[in-house]
Each structure stands twice: as C-alpha cells, then as structure tokens.
Amino acid sequence: MGANDTGFIGQSVKRKEDARFLTGAGQYTDDVTMANQTHAYFLRSPHAHAKLRKIDTSKAKKAPGVVAVYTGADLEGVNGLPCGWLITSVDGTPMKEPPHHVLAKGKVRYVGDQVALVIAETREQAKDAAELIDVDYEVLPAVVNSADALKPGAPQIHDEAPGNKCYTWAIGDRAAVDAAFAKAAHVTKIDIVNNRLIPNAIEPRAAVASYNRAEDAYTLYVTSQNPHVERLLMTAFVLGLPEHKVRVIAPDVGGGFGSKIYLYAEETAMVWASKRVNRPIKWACERSESFLTDAHGRDHITHAELALDKDGKFLALRVHTIAAMGAYLSTFASCIPTILYATLLAGQYTTPVIYCEVTAAFTNTAPVDAYRGAGRPEATYVVERIVHQAAAETGIAQDELRRRNFIRTFPYQTPVALLYDTGGYDATLDEAMKIADVKGFAARKAEAAKRGRLRGLGYAAYIEACGIAPSNVAGALGARAGLFEAGEVRVHPTGSVTVFTGSHSHGQGHETTFAQVVATVLGIPVENVDVVHGDTGRVLFGMGTYGSRSLSVGGTAIMKALDKIVAKGKKIAAHLLEAAEGDIEFKDGKFTVAGTDRSKTFGEIALTAYVPHNYPLDKLEPGLNETAFYDPTNFTFPAGTHICEVEIDPDTGVVQVVNFTACDDFGNIINPMIVEGQVHGGLTQGIGQALLENCVYDKESGQLLTGSYMDYAMPRADDLPSFKVGTKVTPCTHNPLGSKGCGEAGAIGAPAALMNAVLDAMSVAGVKHFDMPASPHRVWQALRSAKAA
Amino acid sequence: MSVSLSMTVNGKATKADVEPRMLLVDYLRVSLGLTGTHVGCDTAQCGACTIHLNGRAVKACNILAVQAQGATILTIEGLAAADGTMHPMQQAFKDCHGLQCGFCTPGMVMNAVDLVARHPGADEKTIREQLEGNFCRCTGYHNIVKAVQQGAAAMAK
C-alpha cells in the first residue's frame, strides 16, 4: 500500500497486531510463566455482609504444597486502595471514603470480598488449601439496591458513611430550572432504571508478580488498561514503595471496557507477598470470580422532568439520580455518575437551564465504576428516553422535536459546564434516517402488523465528552491524577521508527493506527514503524486508555514528538545542504531547500544524526529521539444519531433487532476499518444492555444470581443483526489530528435507541413505561399488564 | 496419583504423566506451553478454548486431558502451513477485521474452520447460529460473520 497526498490517513490499513493473535502467538498475562513460580488463590466471602470473628489458617498452612497464607492482619503498613476522584457534597463536605482493605479486616461487605491469599506450588494446591481455612462469620443483614440502602433503618455498611451515603452532589441552577418549569406549556416526566452490567472482557483478570532481591525491585505483569496509573496508585498510595522499583507490564490484554482501568486488591496483595515469599506468584481469575469481583457498570435510578414550551422547545431539564457505588469506592467510581454523567445532560440540545442532583450510595455488592461509556450512556439514556416520551406526548415527530432543539452554533456553552467546540447534529440525523430508510418504515410496520408483529422505530441523538481533560480543570473538579498523555518517537539510524506511547491497546489497534499517523508525517512505510505500549520499563510515562482518548490525546502527544523530530531534521538538513534552516521544507519524506531540487531523504537525515561526521556538533546534539507530553485544552465531543428498528412477537415477547443504523461524527478518521469495528463492538454492548444483560443480586441474601454465562445473558452472534454504519465529519478544533474518539459511541447511543424502538412498538398495546433489559419474559409481561389495564 | 498420557498435538507425539483431574486445556497450555488456546470461562460457554479433537471442534476446558488419550489434536498454533502461510480462515479474519483484542480469536477461528467443514455453503443465519458457542466482546460479531463467509469461499477453492 503506497502513500498518497494524505499518506496513510483515512486508509483501512490491515492491522499489524493480527498476525500474532491469529496464530496463537499473543502474549497475555496468563501466558507468562516464570521460573520457580508459585500460584495464588484468593479465599472470598460467601456472605454479602458479615463480621469476621476469627480466621484460622493453621490447617491451610500445613496443606501440601502451600508456601504461605496471608489475611488482612498480616498486611501491616499496607494502606487501603485509593479512590482517584474527590467529589464534594452540596453541603461542602467531602465524599465519604471508607477504607478499602487489600485483604478484608473486621468485616466483609460483598460476596466475593477477598478474605485470604493462599500461595502454593500449584493452583490446585492453593485452591485445595483455601478450603481448609476456617472463617468464623457473624452474618449481618445486607442491602443490594441503592434506593433501599438510603432508606432509614437500612443495614449500615461502613461506620464512616452514615445512612450508606457517599455523597449528594449537584450541578446547575436549581432556581432558574424551577422558574422555567413554572411557565412550561408541557412537562414530561420519567422514572427509569439504568440496569447494572458486568463488563465481561473475555480475558479474565490475571497477574504475575515477582521480586528481585538483588535489585530490591518488583515486576508485575497485569491485565491493565493503564500500567503507569496502576503503578502510581499501588506504590504511592498503598504499598509505600518507590515508583522506580516497580515495573508494571500490561502485555496483550484481552479487552477491558473499563474493567481493567482500576487498581485491584489481588495484584496489590501479590506484589506485597512476592517479596515475603521471594518467588514469583501467578494468579488467573476464574470467570466466576470475575462476575463477583470485576468492577460493575451503570446501576442508576433516575427521575427526570423536561419542560417544553408550546412549540416543543426545551425550557429546562431536572434530574435526580441515585447511583450505586457498591461496597467500596473503586478507583474512579465517584466521578462516573457526576462529572462524566450530569455534564452530558444537555445532549445535542439548547436546553437553557439544567439541574441535576446525584446521591451515591454504598451497597453490599461488587464496586461499580466506569464501563464502556461511563456516565455518558446513562446521560444519553435519560435525555433520549425523555425526549422520545415528550415527542410521543406532544405528537411532534421524533426527528422533528430533536431538530427543533439542536445546537447549531459553535462553540456552545452548555448550562452543565461543557463547552462544545464543534458538531453537526442535523447531518448525522439526516444521514442516519437515510441509511435506516425511515421513509419506508410505515409500510414495514403495516406489513409486520399483518403478521401479528409489533414493529417500532427508536432514535438516540447522543453526545459524549471524550479525551478527558485538561488536567487543571479536572483537578479543580476533584481529580487526583493528571490527564495528559506521553509519547516518544525514536528514529533509528537506518530510518525505521519505534514509537512509545502511554496509551494502551487492548483491542483498539493502536499498533496500526498510530503507525499510520507516524508513517504519514515522516513519509515512510507503515511497516517501518513499530508501536510499543504497556510497559513502565520501556514507555516514559502514560495515563492509559479510557474515555475514547487514545488517538485524540495519546496521538497528539506523538504528533508533538513528531514536530520535534521534523524540526531537528530540518536543522540537520540545513547543515548538510548548506542552506538556511528557514528554507528547508519537509514533505513526503524529503527535506528540500525551498524552490530547488536539492534534498535529503528522511533516512539520510536519520543516519547523519547517529553518524555525525558532517554535523553541527557545536550547536546540535546527535541522535533523533524526541518525547512529548500533551495536556488537552478541552474535551472532544463525538456525537451522532442511532436508529433502531425492532419487531416484537407479542405471543412470546421476543424482540428482534431487524435494523440498527449508526451515523457518527468522530472528527477525522485515520483507519475507517478499525473505527467501524469499534462502532460494531460498542453497539453490541449497548444492545446487550437493552436487550439481554442484567446483573441481579438476591435482595435478601445479597448473593449474585447472575454469576455465570449461563445466568448472565451475553450477546451471541445470533442475537444480533449486521449493522449499518455511516460517518459525518466535523474535525475537532483543538487537536492536530482533528480526531474526537470512537470507542464508546456505540454503547452510548444504542440502549436508548433500542428501548425507544421497543416502546414505540409497544405503544399500540398501551405500554408507556418499560425498563431494560427488553428480555422476552419482561416484554411479554409488559404487554399483558397493559392489556389487563 | 498420576496417569500416563499420550496424544498427537499439531502433528507431534506428546507424552506426560498428568493428574486425572487435569483439563485438556491445561495440558495444552501448561504442560505443552501452547498458550494460544485461551481460557475465558469455567462453564464451557465462551468457546475461547476451542480446539480440534480428531477433526471436530471441541471446548478444551470441558474435557479432561485423560479423555483425549491417543487423540489427534489441532490447536491454533498448528493451523497455519509449516512455512507460516496462514490458513484461509486466519487470513479472512485479518482481511475482514474479524478480531480486536485477539483473546477469543483462536477459539473463534478453530470453530469457524469446523463450521465450514460441516456447512460448506452456510448463509449468514446459519453462521450466526453456529457461532453461538463462541463469545466475542469486541467485534459485535459483524466482521466475524464476514470473515467466516470469506474464509468459507477461500476454503472451497
């Protein structure tokens, strides 16, 4: 594949990483084996809430093959796991941050809470020995629903959080919203639940921790989306180790979707223990443990009200949400239902005033944190469900009501803190309607009705804020970390290039996309560029991958390093060509004296930099290796319209997704093939939430009822249609690639589009309210209840 | 107690003494170091561990190693030609972007090869039904279905 005017930008270059994945040569954490390694197994609480009266490990310690057994009491000097974002309540008090012990102390607070670490010669021996640990539990009443947890008399989970309340936070002008509602011509109200999800990356979490006594240094292989952040949190906050003594490697990682952002107890305990046993320790999470202990997503209960004038213009939006935190605060739990949720409630609309209040509650469940979309799917679900209902109530067509309220002037300051730099919402709506053949829907609906089927069409015009930034603004909002990215471009003497990026790829294809960017700028083949990520020992620094930030933030850091490479290359070329530096142009891999045919190739410049015989050594250092950090000036704002068409069999309640269309604006696109793949995957997780997936805990016992793939309905190939996707482009205005991010969009728009389609289909039967998931039993019940009423 | 076990894996004779409770997938991954076969669940639902046992796609997490006594096993590592040329199904997955994180991919490809052998002219509906036992959380299956179609066409040549 050759470069054209725009190089490799916009080309569907086949992925560089595929060869190893397709031949079984990928290196995932569980594939790492170290000499003399031991195996870890974690004994977990079978109770949702209990006092730990006594733990007797004596029998386990004597079991065959056992190397060590540790409980919370052994971890002296080890701090609890930190939360990375401080949210301040409306009354000015900081959120409640109860200790999150690496191994439980005093109490266990959810089924799966880690009680003891057993290390043995084999995994089976560790597991067998764990059964010999005698734990005396005093079982306490549990509460798993966030609204129940906030009720008076609910079981008290942490002494530090009275009433199980973590915080009550608000954004917006409450008085102005009340005033707008007072003069509204129409008010639409909804009560909705955003169902709890379990991320289920197909690679379960895993870790291999080792300690080198000669160097007094640790190495941790771990399934992480952000190894530098993992290292910072683990060393500085929990273990009190110097950062440079811990190398964290996140090798090939089999999907993350948010669940591998966080610092978990398991790898932290293993790093601590690796020095005590002075041998490598390996742990691979079983799927049953993943269900119990990976951070879950969503779990909101929301009441929302939308005020409209007589022409359907939105006057105000009022939202109250209860968000579940689970038993402990996971790494970024607190900012998801606040900073990444309420700030998105303007959607694509000019709603002038918005007020949102969020109460976060502790529950006896697994912690809840970011899952693909993280706050933004929840916001889109509120906005697009209420807009759908408002259209149904006022009789204004779904597309027309949205159009009457679209933002069309940019930059646009929303009433909930964000400044949208650019967008084109009519274009994505128009294109989505065209692709979805909305014009033909009435005929399809009539045809379906003849077969006794209910057909419905649903829209979701979503917006998201990606590439979270800038650090100083995030810091003012409570972030306890920076949100920049780092990159390094190392040009080798023969002109090939290795790029080191702080972004982490666990399916996103960075090794290809980033190589396309670098190859384009330097005018060299994609094959000459390799991308290295996921190793604190090789990559200078990084904040990792989440919030669809890799290209817009990580890619920009690389662009800045490339700028420095080109600038230095011009200096070297000016010397070799005996010209003024200002006269050197760099294009298509050649440094040329402007207006002449005198030039040097990129390869010649690279070689000169490392063999500096004819070189301005008095003015310029040898070598061609540059680093850059990039801290974004604003979020990026991908947006688009998703349209879902469903057909329901009222006799069985089965919902079939017959068509799903997504038209997105991700700004400039480097590799359309990879972007489409990201959309397909996101859509499937969104459709999964709306159609199939639901995390259920037993209300009395706090047991996870959906703790395996036989109980938790994952989307399978035959649950889904082929997708129709389109794109429109308004380039991001504040990064050099003009890119906005594409990883989460599908999961953000799809649930609302699908549920609006289901509600549209069921409207003929009189169903007005319905919560996810639209599983056959629930749909059938809703149709029957409406009929009875 | 251990059991003497022998089988042919990717064309090579293998032999080991194993615990009776050892799963076939652990024999492949741990004893033989063939880590291309992955473990994604513990209920035989996800299909990441799919291999060929005597020519049929089987979930290697759902069978004891000793049950494969004397069997002929093909794993993802043995699918490409000896010179490294990818099997048409592997190539189709690459061409169609039928993989992202790569974790489900070996099992998906091994199932796809068997699927095409059993249903040479499969339509989209059949392919989707036949992929039911393999989870992918990244691709939404859209491009996997395309890859299986392209792989099937290439295998027919």
Q: Give pLDDT tens digits for A741-756.
A: 999 999 999 999 999 9
- Comparing CB atoms, the residue among A33, A288, A717 nearest residue B128 is A717
- Comparing CB atoms, the residue among B48, B143, B145 nearest residue A202 is B48
The verdict on residue B100 lying in a domain is yes
The verdict on residue B68 lying in a domain is yes
Report, as an integer, the average pLDDT of A332-358.
98
**Residue A632 DSSP symbol:** -
- Comparing CB atoms, the residue among A23, A24, A202 nearest residue B40 is A202
- Asked whether the predicted pLDDT for residue A722 surpasses 50, the reply is yes
Contacts of A125 (CB under 8 A, 6+ apart): A39, A63, A64, A65, A66
Q: What percent of chain A has pLDDT over 70?
A: 99
Report, as an integer, the average pLDDT of A438-457.
98
The verdict on residue B110 lying in a domain is yes
pLDDT at A44: 98
Q: Half-sphere exposure (CA, 13 Å, Cβ side) for A100? A: 25
Angle of helix A745-762 relative to helix A672-691, nearest 10 degrees? 40
The verdict on residue B46 lying in a domain is yes
Q: Do residues A448 and A440 lie in contact, with contact meaning Cβ atoms separated by under 8 Å?
A: no
Nearest of A71, A83, A74 to residue A108 by alpha carbon? A71
- Comparing CB atoms, the residue among A17, A20, A680 nearest residue B139 is A680
The alpha carbon of A385 is separated from its chain's Cα centroid by a whole number of angstroms, namely 22
Phi/psi for A250 (5° steps) reads -105, 95
At A457, is the pLDDT very low, low, confident or very high (cuts 50, 70, 90)?
A: very high
- Asked whether the predicted pLDDT for residue A343 surpasses 70, the reply is yes
| Phi-psi sector, A639: left (phi>0), alpha (psi -120 to 50), beta | beta
Q: Do residues A467 and A545 lie in contact, with contact meaning Cβ atoms separated by under 8 Å?
A: no
Distance CA A465, CA A741 (A): 9
- Do B14 and B74 lie in one domain? The reply is yes
The structure tokens listed for A551 are 């290209």
Phi/psi for B93 (5° steps) reads -60, -40
Q: Do residues A529 and A496 lie in contact, with contact meaning Cβ atoms separated by under 8 Å?
A: yes
- Do B74 and B93 lie in one domain? The reply is no
Which burial class, exposed, middle or buried, applies to A245 when counting CB atoms under 10 A from its CB (0-12, 13-18, 19+)? middle
Write the CATH number for B112.
1.10.150.120
* Domains of chain A in sequence order: 40-140 (3.90.1170.50), 300-468+634-788 (3.30.365.10), 484-630 (3.30.365.10)
Distance CA A773, CA A756 (A): 12
Distance CA A46, CA A292 (A): 10
- Do B64 and B93 lie in one domain? The reply is no
Query: Is A717's CB within 8 Å of B127's CB?
Result: yes
Name the helix (H) or strand (E) containing B118.
Answer: helix B105-118
pLDDT at A787: 85
Q: Do residues A80 and A101 lie in contact, with contact meaning Cβ atoms separated by under 8 Å?
A: yes
Distance CA A333, CA A119 (A): 30
Query: Is B127's CB within 8 Å of A19's CB?
Result: no
Distance CA A46, CA B56 (A): 39
Distance CA B138, CA B140 (A): 6
**A with B: how many residue pairs have Cβ under 8 Å apart?**
180
- Do B73 and B7 lie in one domain? The reply is yes
Within 8 A of A754 by CB-CB distance, chain B residues are none
Distance CA A200, CA A711 (A): 13
Spell A45-78 as b/e; 16+ CB within 10 A means b.
Answer: bbbbbbebeebebeebeebeebbbbbbbebbeeb
DSSP A337-371: TTTTTGGGTTTTB---EEEEEEEEEE-SS--B---
Distance CA A332, CA A494 (A): 44
Name the helix (H) or strand (E) containing A457.
Answer: strand A454-463
Distance (Å) from the C-alpha of residue B6 to the closest C-alpha of chain A? 22
Instruction: Quick: pLDDT tens for A385-400.
Output: 999 999 999 999 999 9
Distance (Å) from the C-alpha of residue A748 to the closest C-alpha of chain B? 15
- Do B102 and B144 lie in one domain? The reply is yes
Write the CATH number for B45.
3.10.20.30
Instruction: Quick: pLDDT tens for A135-151.
Output: 999 999 999 999 999 99
- Comparing CB atoms, the residue among A204, A287, A684 nearest residue B140 is A684
Nearest of A604, A724, A704, A765 to residue A44 by alpha carbon? A704
Distance CA A752, CA A100 (A): 34
Spell A172-192 as b/e; 16+ CB within 10 A means b.
Answer: bbeeebeebbeebeeebebeb
- Do B107 and B71 lie in one domain? The reply is no
Average pLDDT value for chain A:
97
Nearest of B84, B134, B83, B139 to residue B109 by alpha carbon? B134
The residue range of the domain holding B151 is 88-156
Distance CA A17, CA A26 (A): 9
Angle, CA of A162, A302 and A398, to the nearest 5°? 170
- Identity of the residue numbered A339: I
| pTM to 2 decimal places | 0.97
Distance spanning both ends of chain A, measured CA to CA: 64
Report, as an integer, the average pLDDT of A122-132.
97
Within 8 A of A715 by CB-CB distance, chain B residues are 140-141
- Asked whether the predicted pLDDT for residue A569 surpasses 60, the reply is yes
Q: Do residues A402 and A461 lie in contact, with contact meaning Cβ atoms separated by under 8 Å?
A: yes
Q: How many CB atoms lie within 10 A of CB A564?
A: 15
- Identity of the residue numbered A468: I
At A3, is the pLDDT very low, low, confident or very high (cuts 50, 70, 90)?
A: very low
The dihedral built from the CA positions of residue A229, A235, A237 and A242, taken in this order, carries a sign that is negative
Instruction: Quick: pLDDT tens for A636-649.
Output: 999 999 999 999 99
The structure tokens listed for A741 are 């991010």
Q: Looking at chain B, how many residues does it have?
A: 157
Nearest of A347, A370, A336, A547 to residue A462 by alpha carbon? A347
Query: Is A254's CB within 8 Å of B77's CB?
Result: no
Q: Do residues A408 and A349 lie in contact, with contact meaning Cβ atoms separated by under 8 Å?
A: no
- Asked whether the predicted pLDDT for residue A479 surpasses 70, the reply is yes
- Do B72 and B109 lie in one domain? The reply is no
| Phi-psi sector, A16: left (phi>0), alpha (psi -120 to 50), beta | alpha
The dihedral built from the CA positions of residue B116, B117, B118 and B121, taken in this order, carries a sign that is positive
Instruction: Give, in order, the Cα–Cα distances in Å from A54 to each of A57, A79, A99, A282.
Output: 10, 21, 20, 27
The verdict on residue B83 lying in a domain is no
Instruction: Give, in order, the Cα–Cα distances in Å from A195 to each of A6, A426, A694.
Output: 44, 30, 6
Three-class SS state of A528: helix
- Do B73 and B106 lie in one domain? The reply is no
> Which residue, of B78, B107, B131, is where some domain finishes?
B78
The verdict on residue B95 lying in a domain is yes
Query: Is B135's CB within 8 Å of A15's CB?
Result: no
The structure tokens listed for A614 are 């004819």
Three-class SS state of A299: coil
3-class secondary structure for A31-76?
Answer: HCCCCCCEEEEEEECCCCCEEEEEEECHHHHCCCCEEEEEEHHHCC
Within 8 A of B82 by CB-CB distance, chain A residues are none
Instruction: Quick: pLDDT tens for A194-236.
Output: 999 999 999 999 999 999 999 999 999 999 999 999 999 999 9
Query: Is A716's CB within 8 Å of B127's CB?
Result: no
- Comparing CB atoms, the residue among A25, A673, A682 nearest residue B97 is A673
Instruction: Quick: pLDDT tens for A295-325.
Output: 999 999 999 999 999 999 999 999 999 999 9
At A469, is the pLDDT very low, low, confident or very high (cuts 50, 70, 90)?
A: confident
Instruction: Give, in order, the Cα–Cα distances in Å from A308 to each of A178, A303, A386, A401, A461.
Output: 13, 17, 11, 10, 18
Distance (Å) from the C-alpha of residue A572 to the closest C-alpha of chain B? 40
The structure tokens listed for A447 are 């045809």
- Do B7 and B74 lie in one domain? The reply is yes
Distance (Å) from the C-alpha of residue B20 to the closest C-alpha of chain A? 12
> Which residue, of B47, B78, B109, is where some domain finishes?
B78
Three-class SS state of B69: coil
The verdict on residue B121 lying in a domain is yes
- Identity of the residue numbered A704: L
Contacts of A461 (CB under 8 A, 6+ apart): A347, A348, A384, A387, A402, A406, A425, A428, A429, A639, A640, A641, A749
Q: Which residue of A has its CA nearest to B139?
A: A681
Taking 3-state DSSP, the helix, strand and coil percentages for chain A, each rounded to the nearest 5, stand at 30, 25, 45
Contacts of A143 (CB under 8 A, 6+ apart): A49, A149, A154, A155, A157, A164, A363, A364, A702
The structure tokens listed for A277 are 């046993």
Distance (Å) from the C-alpha of residue B94 to the closest C-alpha of chain A? 6
3-class secondary structure for B50-67?
Answer: EEEECCEEEEHHHCEHHH
State which residues of chain B have pLDDT below 70.
none
Distance (Å) from the C-alpha of residue B79 to the closest C-alpha of chain A? 8
The verdict on residue B144 lying in a domain is yes
The dihedral built from the CA positions of residue A514, A520, A522 and A527, taken in this order, carries a sign that is positive
Report, as an integer, the average pLDDT of A468-489.
90
- Do B142 and B105 lie in one domain? The reply is yes
- Asked whether the predicted pLDDT for residue A6 surpasses 80, the reply is no
pLDDT at A468: 85
Count of domains observed in chain B: 2
- Do B41 and B101 lie in one domain? The reply is no
- Do B98 and B126 lie in one domain? The reply is yes
Q: What percent of chain A has pLDDT over 90?
A: 97
Query: Is A680's CB within 8 Å of B95's CB?
Result: no
> Which residue, of B78, B96, B122, is where some domain finishes?
B78
The alpha carbon of A576 is separated from its chain's Cα centroid by a whole number of angstroms, namely 48
Q: Do residues A220 and A428 lie in contact, with contact meaning Cβ atoms separated by under 8 Å?
A: no
- Identity of the residue numbered A147: A
